[in-house]
């Protein structure tokens, strides 16, 4: 499935892995990559990305990589995202409000050894 993911989704997943930590507070990206994500979790992440992009294609334009990162960071209330000055207004506010409405998600590594959504 990973070869079918667009730049927005790959950037979203990259941000998810480097900003999420394991039980030892180590960033998941230190030990896991996209190939270590449970298929159902990967499918859910891809679905969220497709829907967000479809809703805001006119605001995102060709800034897919930045938008993917910012979607993860904003929806999870990290210290950066659509609102931090890289996006012009009113796009920054619209994208921030929409990403916040998606709600927070957390990644973890269950006994299967594959990254999953909590």
Show pLDDT as tens, one digit a residue, over the chain (118 residues).
556 899 999 999 999 999 999 888 999 999 999 999 999 999 999 999 999 999 999 999 999 999 999 999 999 999 899 999 889 999 999 999 999 999 999 999 999 999 999 8
Kindly provide the b/e burial profile for residues 29-57, where b requires at least 16 CB atoms within 10 angstroms of the residue's own CB: beebebeebbeebbeebbebbeebbeebe
């Amino acid at each position: 499935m990973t070869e079918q993911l667009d730049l927005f989704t790959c950037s979203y997943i990259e941000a998810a892995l480097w900003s999420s930590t394991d039980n030892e507070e180590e960033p998941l990206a230190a030990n896991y990559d996209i190939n270590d994500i449970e298929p159902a979790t990967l499918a859910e992440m891809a679905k969220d990305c497709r829907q967000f992009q479809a809703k805001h294609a006119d605001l995102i334009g060709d800034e897919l990589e930045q938008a993917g990162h910012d979607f993860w960071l904003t929806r999870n209330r990290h210290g950066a995202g659509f609102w931090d000055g890289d996006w012009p207004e009113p796009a920054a506010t619209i994208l921030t409000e929409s990403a916040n409405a998606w709600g927070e998600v957390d990644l973890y590594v269950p006994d299967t050894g594959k990254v999953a959504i909590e």
